[in-house]
């Protein structure tokens, strides 16, 4: 099972999602993907609970196409 977590805004909100990511990974045994703005991607890239980080750049169309492909 894959679960996509969307968190595009502030750094504090992204940090506060860490317990949710951990629970999804450990308890639900899901493949956790996170979508965020490029400037916040490093916060999630090295998390052991996140399988893949999708970054939102300036092209929203390409971003949504990549998510649909995934």
The residue extents of the domains of the chain are 2-69
**Cβ proximity of 49 and 21 under 8 Å:** yes
What is the pLDDT, as a whole number, of residue 28?
92
Q: What is the pLDDT, as a whole number, of residue 25?
A: 95
**Correct CATH for 2-69 of 3.40.50.410, 3.30.200.100, 3.40.50.2000, 1.10.630.10:** 3.40.50.2000
State the pLDDT at residue 8: 85
E strands along 10-62, which residues? Answer: 31-37, 52-56
3-state secondary structure of 10: coil
42 burial class (0-12, 13-18, 19+ CB within 10 angstroms)? exposed
Work out the average pLDDT over 16-36: 93
State the pLDDT at residue 50. 96
pLDDT band (50, 70, 90) for residue 6: very high
pTM: 0.86
Q: Please give the biggest Cα pair distance in the chain.
A: 35
User: 17-27 in b/e burial notation, b at 16+ Cβ within 10 A?
Assistant: beeebeebbee
């Amino acid at each position: 099972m894959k679960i996509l977590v969307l968190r595009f805004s502030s750094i504090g909100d992204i940090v506060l999602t860490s317990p949710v990511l951990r629970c999804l990974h450990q308890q639900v045994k899901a493949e956790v993907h996170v979508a965020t703005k490029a400037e916040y991607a490093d916060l999630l890239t090295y998390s052991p609970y996140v399988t893949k980080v999708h970054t939102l750049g300036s092209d929203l169309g390409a971003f949504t196409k990549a998510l649909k492909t995934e």
